Structure 1
Amino acid sequence: MDALNNTNYSPVTFIMLGIPGLEAQHIWISIPFSTVYAIALLGNCFILFLIKTERSLHAPMYFFLSMLAINDIGMTLTTLPTMLSVFWFNIKEINFDACQTQLFFLHIFAIMESSVLLAMAFDRFLAICNPLRYTSILTYSIIASIGVAILVRSTVLIIPVILLLKRLSFCKTNLLSHSFCFHSDVLKLACTDTKINNLYGLFVVLFTAGIDSVFIVLSYMMIIKTVLSIASSEQRLKAFNTCVSHICVILIFYIPMIALSVVHRFGKNIPPVIYTLMGYVYLLIPPALNPIIYSIKTKQIQRQILRMFSRKQNHGEILKIFH
């Protein structure tokens, strides 16, 4: 038996557990999960539609918001199929190649989210600290180049993650902690040395979220310095208000990510259900809340939403007159 346990092999499939210990309640748990997925997809699609159709929103800030919405849609669609298969249909198996494919896109979108947040911080920095050159610096071509650079950066950094995973053998249990494939979750199942994988994973985190967060903090230090130098308190408040949405989005992305990393590396005695739920919070809450935050906190978007509904109301009244 010991010889069998020590034999290296790569499992044909992994088993996704959903939420450990609550398997009997999966169908009920799926209701709030599905609601969050629906909010994330509909909310971000609505933001994209609004920005595309309203010419007044064709500005750098909203182009970066479009990138964030596209990224959140991608993140949501990456985990949606396996979540539905586990919670709705009790289909828990996923083969190794499909798992790697999901893992690849999942982590690409996570890196892109951090990169887009940095680009949005740069946008706010230029708008407040150098408003006269704002539109001349952030031209359509520059914004497009930033988008391409974000995509290339994310893809180049994640490809080695997949290649390093392929060299591993798995002889332990093949049970995953979530209803999707997460890099750290898969590494736990390997029976070969994962030191290189862990070191490269740490490098990716530091090179992306680590560097991005430092530059975001520096940007806001410069923004605060500039805003405090403004004489009028009304203008200071107006300048700060343009950053509120972005700050909220940064917090709801980085706080769950940091918490999940800490739990993964140091929380060995934490119940598995806590680790699993934190993974869902990290991947589901930001895409669902981002469009809500920008709709509530951004006056230009509020104005366009109200204008859109007023047009529909006026159109309905005209139809009633003719009927």
Structure 2
Amino acid sequence: MVRGIQAELANVSYTEFRLLAFPGLQESTRHFLAIPFFCLFVMIVTANSILIYIVKSEKSLHSPMYMLIALLFAVNTAGAINILPRMVLSFILGATFISLTSCLIQMFFIYAILIFDCNVLLMMALDRYLAICYPLRYADLMTNKLLALLVLVSMLRSVFVVTPVVILASRVSFCRSNIIGHFACEHMALMRLSCGDISRNKIVGMLLRSLTIIFDVSFLLASYSQIIHTALKITSGTIKHKAFHTCGTHLIVIIIAYSTTLSSSIVFRVAKAASEDVHNLLSVIYLLFPWAINPFIYGMRTKEIRSSLLKLFWRKCVGLASTNKKR
């Protein structure tokens, strides 16, 4: 009878899990982590929202390049909202419960947002390619219709890449434990709890990630090789400097996004013996760091955005001073 009960328990698949971020830390230490990550959430949402508002309110910024930058900020905000509130709550409460369905939904949005983030970077590379290599035809080529089509294709690409991974994950039995030693429902963090064969999940996940990265890097190398080749031929020093400065800002964002993702992926597969806390820290870096730093990179390095930001603060300060004088 005992063996029968054990066999029955072994076949039980959990449908509710506990998200336990940084499980290696003491409970008291983990509670204090709620403060910096809450501040990080506020910073990401506030900084990205302010710059979205600036691009929206300034008519001089209503061009494809700045619209794509605003789209990148919107994706950053969506990513933070998808992950950080539950993460902060887990630090405060010690752990948060999440159903398998909600976990799979969060997993879908995590990876869909990440891929869409990369898609926006590809669209920005295409925009810079057309602007620098075909300046006289740029307005005719980079139309709002084309921009809308690119956004739609990017959304469909994100869905098509992520959906097979989530569907395969939904068919796995999870009987090892119901505690996810992570702050979010990452694919491999959930797969560690599986009690069946997940070789297909690993192969499909690695294949889709590899194909996506190969395509993205190939497209970026092809476009930027043409951009640099054309920019070097520009005789005007001012125009050449502006072209390299704009592309330099974009390249910094690209390097941060892809280097953090690749580093996390490599470490996860090579250093399998690393603790869950190490994998949590790497996930924080590749998920949250780009979303936090992107608005500051564009805010500091893009003259038009920086000028509009200073104008906004100046108007607010003048308005506040006028209100105080009336009182």
Normalising by structure 2, what TM-score?
Answer: 0.92
- 1:161-172 equivalences under 5 Å are 161-172=165-176
2:38 is matched with 34
Please point out which of 13, 21, 24 is paired with 1:21: 24
Opposite residue 257 of structure 1, the aligned amino acid is T
- Answering whether residue 160 of structure 2 is matched by residue 156 of structure 1, we say yes
- Answering whether residue 301 of structure 2 is matched by residue 294 of structure 1, we say no
**2:18/2:96 contact within 8 Å kept:** yes
**1:114/1:208 contact within 8 Å kept:** no
Q: 1:313 to 1:7 in 2, by over 3 A?
A: closer
Instruction: Write the deviation string for residues 120-165 of structure 1: whole angstroms up to 9, x where unpaired.
Output: 1111111111111112111111111111111111112222222111
- Answering whether residue 220 of structure 2 is matched by residue 216 of structure 1, we say yes
- After TM superposition, which residue ranges in structure 1, 4 or more long, deviate above 6 angstroms? none
**2:64/2:147 contact within 8 Å kept:** yes
- 1:144-293 equivalences under 5 Å are 144-293=148-297
Opposite residue 179 of structure 1, the aligned amino acid is F
**TM-superposed deviation, 1:266:** 1.3
Tell me the secondary structure at the aligned position of residue 132 of structure 1: coil
Opposite residue 93 of structure 2, the aligned amino acid is F
**TM-superposed deviation, 1:275:** 1.3
Opposite residue 62 of structure 1, the aligned amino acid is Y
Write the distance in 1 (CA, Å) between the matches of 2:319 and 2:90. 44
**TM-superposed deviation, 1:307:** 1.6
**TM-superposed deviation, 1:319:** 4.6
Write the distance in 1 (CA, Å) between the matches of 2:277 and 2:269. 16
- Answering whether residue 50 of structure 2 is matched by residue 46 of structure 1, we say yes
Identity across the alignment (%): 33
- Answering whether residue 76 of structure 2 is matched by residue 72 of structure 1, we say yes
**1:118/1:213 contact within 8 Å kept:** no
Q: 1:2 to 1:37 in 2, by over 3 A?
A: farther
Tell me the secondary structure at the aligned position of residue 93 of structure 1: strand
**TM-superposed deviation, 1:2:** 8.1
Q: 1:203 to 1:2 in 2, by over 3 A?
A: farther
Write the distance in 2 (CA, Å) between the matches of 1:151 and 1:126. 22
Opposite residue 94 of structure 1, the aligned amino acid is I
Write the distance in 1 (CA, Å) between the matches of 2:248 and 2:108. 32
1:107 is matched with 111
**2:37/2:88 contact within 8 Å kept:** no
Q: 1:24 to 1:319 in 2, by over 3 A?
A: closer
Write the distance in 1 (CA, Å) between the matches of 2:15 and 2:94. 18
Write the distance in 2 (CA, Å) between the matches of 1:240 and 1:261. 31
**TM-superposed deviation, 1:233:** 4.1
**TM-superposed deviation, 1:234:** 4.1
Unaligned runs of 5+ in 2: none
Q: Which moved more, 1:298-307 or 1:166-175?
A: 166-175
Tell me the secondary structure at the aligned position of residue 131 of structure 1: coil
Q: 1:319 to 1:167 in 2, by over 3 A?
A: closer
Instruction: Write the deviation string for residues 5-29 of structure 1: whole angstroms up to 9, x where unpaired.
Output: 7833321222222112213311211
Unaligned runs of 5+ in 1: none
- Answering whether residue 139 of structure 2 is matched by residue 135 of structure 1, we say yes
Write the distance in 2 (CA, Å) between the matches of 1:294 and 1:139. 23
Q: 1:139 to 1:85 in 2, by over 3 A?
A: same
Q: Which moved more, 1:230-239 or 1:89-98?
A: 230-239
1:310 is matched with 314
**2:20/2:95 contact within 8 Å kept:** no
Instruction: Write the deviation string for residues 170-193 of structure 1: whole angstroms up to 9, x where unpaired.
Output: 222333231110012111221211
Instruction: Write the deviation string for residues 51-78 of structure 1: whole angstroms up to 9, x where unpaired.
Output: 1111000000011112111111111111
Normalising by structure 1, what TM-score?
Answer: 0.93
Q: 1:228 to 1:96 in 2, by over 3 A?
A: same
Write the distance in 1 (CA, Å) between the matches of 2:192 and 2:309. 47
* Alignment root-mean-square deviation, CA: 2.0
Tell me the secondary structure at the aligned position of residue 153 of structure 1: helix
Q: 1:94 to 1:237 in 2, by over 3 A?
A: same
Q: Which moved more, 1:283-292 or 1:267-276?
A: 267-276
**1:252/1:286 contact within 8 Å kept:** yes
